[in-house]
Copies of this chain bind each other. A is one copy, B any other.
Amino acid sequence: MSKSDKIIVVGAGLSGPLIAAMMRKRGYEVSLYESRPDMRKVEMAAGRSINLALSDRGLIPLDEIGVKEEVMATTVPMYGRMIHDNEGNTRLSRYSGREGEAINSVSRAGLNIQLINKAESLGVNVFYNEKCVGVDHKKGIVNFKSYTTGIESDVHADLIIGADGFGSAVRESMYDNHRETRFSFSQDYLSHGYKELHIPPGDDGSFRIDKNALHIWPRGGHMVIALPNEDGSFTVTLFHSFDGDEGFDNLNDDKSIMAFFKKYYSDILQHMPDVLTDFNENPTGNLATVKCYPWQSNGRSILIGDSAHAVVPFYGQGMNCSFEDCSVFTKIHDEHPGNWKWILETYQQTRKKDADAIGDLAVENYVEMRDSVAHPDFKEKRELEMKLEATYPDYKSKYSMVTFSPEIPYSMAMNLGRAQDEFLLNFCSKIDDVSGVDIASLKESLDVLKKQFV
């Protein structure tokens, strides 16, 4: 209950250093433990989540710890989806009908280093090569094993924050005790995985395709996306099923790989000279949603970020949700600083429904991205939504609510957003042309619909 309380944060990935910095700013003694070496001193492994889309929910806590400007200086704004069809035609579907609303492509490693530097400069103690091998949630003790010395040590804390991602050891230790604590847990793998590729910069260092967009090649059963990097390159990701004649499991030699790309993605091939090297050297990643509950144990330990709720990447909200966790947690903390039992219980009860919502939205959005965006009704719906957003400041599409409206919780964005989508798709199925639509009357109907949700 005092500022001398000690906090251990397990995991120095994205949300770990952020929550460590935020709690340090509140006066606690904070130690951050990471199982891997200091990423500032070693080469990064390639092939996994090289860049991410940073949006409004994620920016709020970055601003609070004073790194927002520095981070934003390294990002590339993306104003919409650039959709590449089978014939090589392109069409920009803007994310918002309002000027300036964009998501920001950011280097995962670069952002991570900025966060760790900030945490350290605020006085967070950072320890590397320390693997969490067990947690005593009742006593508030974390057992670490050093990868460099092999020595195990017990560290005591008043609060243990598990920010150790998808394969969380802190969550694992809660799971071990599931019969006593009724720890519910789910991990749902998609039948699709991903492979990271890249488009290098042009000879003059320029961007080979439009810089300020998230590029999508929707192909129904699979898709390729590309996000711009500061240096003129793009990180390209193929999302595709493992099974099937042309699935990942059967793309196992150069001939079948090239045949697949020539058949479906011939217009990207000219920009990817290293496609075979990338494909053969980078791992094929899995995609899974993790949910669990309770997130807290004994008023002493709490899961945040992916360790509590790993989501698939199709809404671009995994990192933003984890960062928003830190905002929600600290805001609740500030109501009764140091009253950990109340804080942890209030936090999990407040946040669970929103983490569930973004997990479900992310799975749904895969179908939208790889398939629906190419359908006529969907195009008309997006056109109407752009008009609505440009005309009415208070109209927000589901995408806008999720991405640009941190004041709307994910669960509300999901429920209202789904109702709006259903209404508008039904509306569009009955018209041939959106140009003649009476936008004012459409807005009135949508306002009636909205009343059911607020």
Residues of A near any B CB (own CB < 8 A): 178-179, 182-191, 242, 286, 288, 291
Residue in B182, B191, B286, B291 whose CB lies within 8 Å of A179 = B286
Shortest C-beta distance, A310 to chain B (Å), equals: 13
Residue in B187, B191, B242, B286 whose CB lies within 8 Å of A186 = B187
Set of chain B residues within 8 Å of A186, measured between Cβ atoms: 184-188, 291
Q: Do A184 and B178 touch (CB < 8 A)?
A: no
Residue in B182, B189, B242 whose CB lies within 8 Å of A286 = B182
Q: Do A187 and B187 touch (CB < 8 A)?
A: no
Set of chain B residues within 8 Å of A191, measured between Cβ atoms: 182
Closest to A287 in B: B182
Set of chain B residues within 8 Å of A286, measured between Cβ atoms: 179, 182
Shortest C-beta distance, A165 to chain B (Å), equals: 13
Interchain CA distance A186-B187 in the complex, whole Å: 6
Q: Do B184 and A187 touch (CB < 8 A)?
A: yes
Set of chain B residues within 8 Å of A187, measured between Cβ atoms: 178, 184-186
What would 22 A/B residue contacts be, using CB atoms closer than 8 Å?
A: A178-B187, A178-B189, A179-B286, A182-B189, A182-B190, A182-B191, A182-B242, A182-B286, A182-B288, A183-B189, A184-B186, A184-B187, A184-B188, A184-B189, A184-B288, A185-B185, A185-B186, A185-B187, A186-B186, A186-B187, A186-B188, A186-B291
Closest to A180 in B: B286
Closest to A166 in B: B179
Interchain CA distance A288-B187 in the complex, whole Å: 16
Interchain CA distance A191-B242 in the complex, whole Å: 37
Shortest C-beta distance, A192 to chain B (Å), equals: 10
Q: What are the 3 tightest A-B residue pairs by CB atom distance, in nearest-first order?
A: A186-B186, A182-B189, A184-B188
Shortest C-beta distance, A92 to chain B (Å), equals: 35
Closest to A242 in B: B182
Closest to A190 in B: B182
Set of chain B residues within 8 Å of A189, measured between Cβ atoms: 178, 182-184
Closest to A289 in B: B184
Shortest C-beta distance, A319 to chain B (Å), equals: 21
Closest to A294 in B: B189
Interchain CA distance A189-B185 in the complex, whole Å: 9
Interchain CA distance A62-B188 in the complex, whole Å: 35
Closest to A179 in B: B286
Set of chain B residues within 8 Å of A188, measured between Cβ atoms: 184, 186
Residue in A182, A183, A191, A286 with the greatest tally of chain B CB atoms within 10 Å:
A182
Interchain CA distance A186-B288 in the complex, whole Å: 12
Set of chain B residues within 8 Å of A185, measured between Cβ atoms: 185-187
Set of chain B residues within 8 Å of A182, measured between Cβ atoms: 189-191, 242, 286, 288
Interchain CA distance A184-B288 in the complex, whole Å: 8
Shortest C-beta distance, A123 to chain B (Å), equals: 37
Closest to A181 in B: B189
Interchain CA distance A4-B284 in the complex, whole Å: 40
Residue in A183, A189, A286, A288 with the greatest tally of chain B CB atoms within 10 Å:
A189
Closest to A291 in B: B186
Interchain CA distance A184-B186 in the complex, whole Å: 8
Shortest C-beta distance, A240 to chain B (Å), equals: 14
Shortest C-beta distance, A181 to chain B (Å), equals: 9
Interchain CA distance A190-B293 in the complex, whole Å: 11
Set of chain B residues within 8 Å of A242, measured between Cβ atoms: 182
Interchain CA distance A185-B185 in the complex, whole Å: 8
Set of chain B residues within 8 Å of A184, measured between Cβ atoms: 186-189, 288
Closest to A191 in B: B182
